Chains A and B, each alone.
Chain A
């Protein structure tokens, strides 16, 4: 793993078909999870096409700070298994109350909504992120352990630990999908950050998956 300051490793780290596979598998995870969110908010959840890239933590943190919305709130869960990383559900901070309101109902007062915010975000994040990772684990036929959800507030850099133990220049596999809740002013991202030491493991898993496509048990001729 040579993540030095020169030409980054991103070009070669994953082949085109590996990136395609990851995007497709993540898309299945997020699409399934979006249905859980849809059931919670009672309105359609619109999803973007997923983007997969290998970037530094610093670059990833900039990607989530869109439209000058630098104050973010995120529900995050760590996962461990054949590969390790973190899954995050991220909103501009100004919108988290609107999300909570769309879940608990419009009849609640602002005080109630503020009281419920932490719990509602943790629960929403838990359902969406678990749903997403469970689908990914099932598709890849692997088991993943998930931590309990925690809530982080701050800019992109603090969400992605650009400073501190992990350096901002460290490369991560970054996968994200935008979502919007129809008829509500709520938009956010689901992001997966995987540590680079896991990429070798990830490559192997994706390649096993691709090789196994033709070896699925048959049984329904005609």
Chain B
């Protein structure tokens, strides 16, 4: 079943790369984009978002802070941090927040693996 995915990244190029990967991997899913944490939270409040993919290094609220805020209202939503910052602390913090981690430069393989897991989890939640 198609899901609605929110892409959060301050870089338009990064959102384009992500959207392009989706067209190859999950062309039937719908995408929404946000360029910062505030816009992301507004989109979340709309209630239509199933999965969120979030850049770490953004001006203002960073991706991990954003995930922490999302977790307050969406404890089980499949969420991943997408970043070239592969330091243990970043990946470890993502895990603590029950979020996945997808390294940049983005590959179709890494994105596809996360999305398969996310789709399985969502199917369990909403039979």
Task: Give residues in A with beta carbon < 8 Å to B.
Answer: 17, 20-21, 23-25, 27-29, 31-32, 34-35, 38, 44-45, 47, 49, 135, 138-139, 210, 213-214, 216, 218-222
Interface of A is mostly: helix
Contact with A along B1-25 (1 / 0, CB 8 A): 0000000001111101100110111
Which residues of the partner chain B approach A220 to less than 8 Å between Cβ atoms? 24-25, 108-109, 112
Which residues of the partner chain B approach A45 to less than 8 Å between Cβ atoms? 87
Q: Do B20 and A49 have beta carbons less than 8 Å apart?
A: no
Q: Do B20 and A24 have beta carbons less than 8 Å apart?
A: no
How many Å lie between the Cα of A49 and that of B13 in the bound state? 15
Which residues of the partner chain B approach A216 to less than 8 Å between Cβ atoms? 20-21, 24, 108
B side interface size, CB within 8 A? 28
Q: How far is the CB of A68 from chain B (nearest CB, A)?
A: 26
Task: Give residues in B with beta carbon < 8 Å to A.
Answer: 10-14, 16-17, 20-21, 23-26, 57-59, 83-89, 104-105, 108-109, 112
**Can you list the 5 inter-chain pairs with the closest CB atoms, starting with the nearest?**
A31-B84, A28-B84, A24-B11, A31-B85, A44-B89
Q: Which of B25, B26, B84 contacts A135 (CB 8 A)?
A: B84
Q: How far is the CB of B13 from chain A (nearest CB, A)?
A: 4
Q: Do B12 and A20 have beta carbons less than 8 Å apart?
A: yes
11 contacts between A and B (CB under 8 A): A21-B11, A25-B13, A29-B84, A31-B84, A34-B85, A38-B88, A38-B89, A47-B85, A216-B20, A218-B24, A221-B25
